[in-house]
Amino acid sequence: MRTTIDAQSPRTLLLTPGPLTTSDTTRAALGRDWGSRDDDFVALTARLRSRLSALAGASASHETVLLAGSGTFAVEAALQSLVPRDGRVLLLVNGAYGRRMAEMLSRLGRDHLVREWDEDQPVDPAQVDAMLAADPTIGDVAIVHCETTSGLLNPLEAVASVVRRHRRRLLVDAMSSFGVLPVEAGRLGLAAVMASSNKGLEGVPGIGFVIAESAHLATCAGNATSLSLDLHAQAAGFRANGQWRFTPPVQVAAALDAALDQLDAEGGVAARGLRCARLHAMLVDGMAALGFETYLPQSLQAPIIVTFRDPGPPFDFAALYAALQADGIVLYPGKLTRAPSFRIGCIGAIDETDMRRALDAIARCLRR
């Protein structure tokens, strides 16, 4: 059976927060079976782990722990594995992904406190400084780098410097930014970076990973309450025999390796960040010409996903969504708690021609 979107002609554009558009080369890498214990798959796993650590500038200090699952699995694994059972976590929240971490810690029964900002306000490092100074029992701090809810970029470097000065650990959900913006786990001394195969890295969905500081990870035996999300045990498995503890998503891993080849060929994270910035400018300008305002000022906006205000009737996002979907272009509804909005992404294996096609399709739909 065919879905409404024909995957090949024209190419499906996923202008969403993920999964994202992938290249033909990446999808072609899915077309082979691998035995999970075969030498070549063990080598592929080792290569992926070292390539991802290297992308975070953390080859010497960190190790990458791969998990089968979406990005949320990696975040939940990091929180339960890297935070001691009697630890206390400060969550810096300005959107849905920060709130999701609070829900995880509640379910895990781990002590935490939440400092929340409005969805159009960045985390304020000075307030983090004051909170850490006031409460020495906070051992870990968690932040979302790009809050994909709005597209806001939090000041990672400044927050990392505050957390380092107080000698606490910083866990960073870099799900939508990793591969597009620098996330320098080594230089910033991050305890952990959580990301996944299918966002800025442009792989297919199915792998979440945590780039964890090795010295801390070594102390984390027994923290996790879940068997399958135990990063310490997963890392020990990789170290022992190079294998995943449970069935690896073998084709997904091969596609991620191919996607990383393409990232290298593009010129690495800096070059990819520039491409996304060009697409972002094109998107914001093109939508402005059609009368749409961004929710955030450009100074707070990451070149990853843009939230546009819903101008209200006669504009009807559901109608736009359906019309574009019929053209093979997928947008995303808003996720803000207050302002009515919708989102258009500028990450994934897309170029200017694709963004032009999307803007033209939106303009056509508005004329109708």
Ligand X SMILES: *Cc1c(COP(=O)(O)O)cnc(C)c1O
Which residues of this protein are in contact with ligand X, per CB under 6 A? 17-18, 70-72, 75, 97, 144, 148, 173, 175-176, 196
Pairwise CA distance, residues 11 & 150, whole Å = 27
Question: What sign does the dihedral 104-346-19-322 (CA atoms) show?
Answer: positive
Least Cβ distance, residue 233 to ligand X (angstroms): 21
CB of 173 to ligand X, least distance (A): 5
In the complex, the smallest distance separating the C-beta of residue 133 from ligand X, rounded to whole angstroms, is 28
Q: Are 7 and 183 in contact (CB under 8 A)?
A: no
Q: Considering beta carbons, is residue 17 or 303 the nearer one to ligand X?
A: 17
In this complex, which beta carbon is closest to ligand X, that of residue 194 or of residue 359?
A: 194
Structure tokens at 30: 């899915």
Cβ closest to ligand X, residue 94 vs residue 176: 176
CA–CA separation, 125 and 228 (whole Å): 34
Its sign, for the CA torsion 21, 25, 26, 27, is: positive
Give residue for tokens 């402005």: 288
CB of 3 to ligand X, least distance (A): 20
- Nearest approach in angstroms of CB 175 to ligand X is 3
| Residue whose C-alpha is closest to residue 71's, from 95, 115, 101, 28 | 101
Q: Which two tokens stand for residue 284?
A: 């914001």
Q: How far is the CB of 240 from ligand X (least distance, A)?
A: 28
In terms of CB distance, is 155 or 242 closer to ligand X? 155
Closer residue to ligand X, CB minimum distance, 18 or 334: 18
Between 70 and 223, name the residue whose CB sits nearer to ligand X. Answer: 70
- Tell me which residue has its CB nearest to ligand X: 71
**Shortest distance (Å) from residue 167 CB to ligand X:** 26
Least separation in angstroms between CB 286 and ligand X: 23
- Whichever of 42 and 283 has its CB closer to ligand X, that residue is 283
CB of 73 to ligand X, least distance (A): 7
Which residue lies nearer to ligand X by CB, 42 or 48?
48
Are 295 and 120 within 8 A, CB to CB? yes
| Contact in structure between 359 and 283 (CB atoms under 8 Å) | yes
d(CA 25, CA 27): 5
Nearest alpha-carbon partner for 355 in 333, 332, 329, 334: 329
Instruction: For ligand X, give the closer residue by CB, 119 or 327.
Output: 119
- Look at strands 192-196 and 341-345 and give their pairing: unpaired
Strand extents, DSSP E, the chain:
13-14, 62-68, 88-93, 111-116, 140-144, 146-147, 152-153, 169-173, 192-196, 207-213, 305-309, 329-330, 332-333, 341-345
Residues 253 and 45: beta-carbon distance below 8 Å: yes
